[in-house]
Amino acid sequence: MNKYFEHNFDGLIGPTHNYAGLSFGNIASATNKGAASNPREAALQGLAKMRAAMELGLKQGFLPPQDRPHLKSLRALGFDGTDKQIIEKAGKTDPQLLANCYAASCMWTANAGTVAPSPDTGDGKAHFTPANLAANFHRSIEADTTARVLRHIFNDDNYFAHHPPLPGAMHFGDEGAANHGRLCESHGDEGVHLFVYGQDGDRFPARQKRRASEAVARSHRLDPAKTVFIEQSKTALDAGAFHNDVVGVANGTVLFLHEQSFADPQAAYAEIREKAPFVEIVEAPADKVSLDDCIKSYLFNSQLLTLPADQGAEGEMALLLPKESEENAAVKAFVDDTVFKNNPINRVIYKDVRESMRNGGGPACLRLRVVLSEEEAAAADANFILDADKTTALEAWVKNHYRDRVTPDDLRDPAFMDESFAAMDALTRLLQMGAFYDFQQ
Ligand code: SUG
């Protein structure tokens, strides 16, 4: 029998990770605007999280960072001359635009795209749609390269179907897997897909459009009897849940979420229960954990991981949470209570991903889940599937090339661009990618 495994593809955090306050509606991003970042620590924290998942016996992959500063975007916006002149001109005339072109935001691979595994699709292939990320300029410039990265790693038409990012920009704003979850009895069984979209709140705009989710479900040839479209609550959006994965996560038979996640929770739960009768809904009541605590601690931006057969009982799950959840008394009490109660969540791991958290990205933001059969996994590019040795090699690459402090002023310094490109050049050699990035063309 062809066995299926969930592979988490984390974003390898790039050398230009910085705090530029670029994401309206993302409270951490706004709060930390202008602070000094530590890209080296950020990338090592990310790799340590990947190690922790591998130590649980889980399959771990990664997506490489994108080339930043993105000179191609700066050129398209009218900056010309040599690379150095482009940085200097942009730094003088529009430092905020330069910061947009410097963002390392592709690290949050939950926004790289939406994936439907082969048991769920009409043609039996795994389908990928890169997110257009139209809501924020710095994120919208990720889509083309993300499409290229996904095609590069999953490069076999027999197994993988790649769709282009949705057209129509904001009209079909699509933020990828951050607003999508899959319920199933086991990874290889046909799954039920939950697509969560938003309507603009009073305070913050919604990024994911219903029509975008519908288009992705159509392209992926999902069975309408196995898809649910759910409106996010405006209360959650306005509290800072700019993606639904800040207030809920689905894995296997479990939907783990805050009671104020959905606009009409009872109707949503009824449809989910009808389409996925096996579902177990584990809900945090607002009187135990406030939305504010959720957003500060990223309780629900945790990875809910089904443990392999030799690591636990059938269907047993571990919750991999950010440290901030351990430090919040109400959240910690709820997590302890959840583990104590009779449900599949039996183990808890707290990891330090603070550098990412300060830009509003927790453990779940940092990974794209790709369920693959053994055959499909063998068809994917092995350079992007991790083991302990490859992780050590990536750590050495980070230590060699990354700064431990980046401030807004550094973005104006062409030497920082040169360092970043040198790092990316070395990475493409390490991963045998050829001349892959725009700056290498
Ligand atoms: O899109 N932050 C990202 C965080 C994405 C988190 N992803 C998920 N929830 N899945 C965003 O808002 C901040 C960049 C800055 O301000 O420098 C940023 O892009």
Contact, 318 vs 349, CB < 8 A? yes
**Residue found by looking up tokens 């830009």 in the block:** 359
Ligand 1 atom nearest the C-alpha of 19 is 17
CA nearest neighbour of 18 among 111, 101, 94, 79: 101
Q: Which run of H or E residues covers position 5?
A: strand 4-11
Catalytic pick among 175, 259, 324, 355: 175
Query: How many whole angstroms separate alpha carbon 153 and alpha carbon 283?
Result: 36
Contact 68, 101 (CB under 8 A): yes
Instruction: Name the token pair of 421.
Output: 């490109």
- Of 37, 243, 407, the one to substitute when testing ligand 1's pocket (max ligand atoms within 8 A of C-beta) is 243
pLDDT in tens, 349-375: 999 999 999 999 999 999 999 999 999
The secondary structure of 268-301 as a DSSP string is HHHHHHHH-TT-EEEEE-TTTS-HHHHHHHTTTS
Taking the CA of residue 136 as reference, the ligand 1 atom at the shortest distance is 1
User: Would you call 243 a catalytic residue per the annotation?
Assistant: yes
Active site (annotated) includes residue 365: yes
Q: What pLDDT is stored for residue 1 in this prediction?
A: 57
Report whether residue 360 contacts ligand 1, using a CB cutoff of 6 Å: yes
Largest CA distance in the chain: 64
Residues in CB range of 130: below 8 A, 6 or more apart: 112, 113, 143, 146, 147, 150, 163, 164, 165, 176
Characterize 65-75 residue by residue with b for buried, 16 or more Cβ atoms within 10 angstroms of its Cβ, and e for exposed. bbbbbbbbbbe
Domains for the chain: give ranges and CATH numbers: 8-68+103-440 (3.75.10.20)
**Look-up of token digits 């599937």:** 385
Nearest to 162 by CA among 380, 416, 3: 380
Please give the order of strands across the beta sheet that includes 248-251: 248-251, 254-258, 280-284
Task: Look up the pTM and report it.
Answer: 0.98
Q: Which residues, 6 or more positions from 422, have their beta carbon under 8 angstroms from its beta carbon?
A: 401
Q: Is 367 in the pocket of ligand 1 (CB under 6 A)?
A: no
Q: Report the alpha-carbon distance of residue 148 to residue 436 in Å, rounded.
A: 9
Looking up tokens 């959240």, which residue turns up?
331
Going across the sheet that includes 59-63, the strands are 59-63, 4-11, 367-373
- The answer to whether the CB of 289 is under 6 A from ligand 1 is no
Residue among 59, 6, 60, 56 at smallest CA distance from 312: 56
Which residue among 23, 102, 247 has the greatest number of ligand 1 atoms within 8 angstroms of its CB, and so is best to mutate? 23
Q: Are 110 and 245 in contact (CB under 8 A)?
A: yes
Per-residue pLDDT of the chain (441 residues; tens, 9 = 90+): 589 999 999 999 999 999 999 999 999 999 999 999 999 999 999 999 999 999 999 999 999 999 999 999 999 999 999 999 999 999 999 999 999 999 999 999 999 999 999 999 999 999 999 999 999 999 999 999 999 999 999 999 999 999 999 999 999 999 999 999 999 999 999 999 999 999 999 999 999 999 999 999 999 999 999 999 999 999 999 999 999 999 999 999 999 999 999 999 999 999 999 999 999 999 999 999 999 999 999 999 999 999 998 887 888 999 999 999 999 999 999 999 999 999 999 999 999 999 999 999 999 999 999 999 999 999 999 999 999 999 999 999 999 999 999 999 999 999 999 999 999 999 999 999 999 999 999
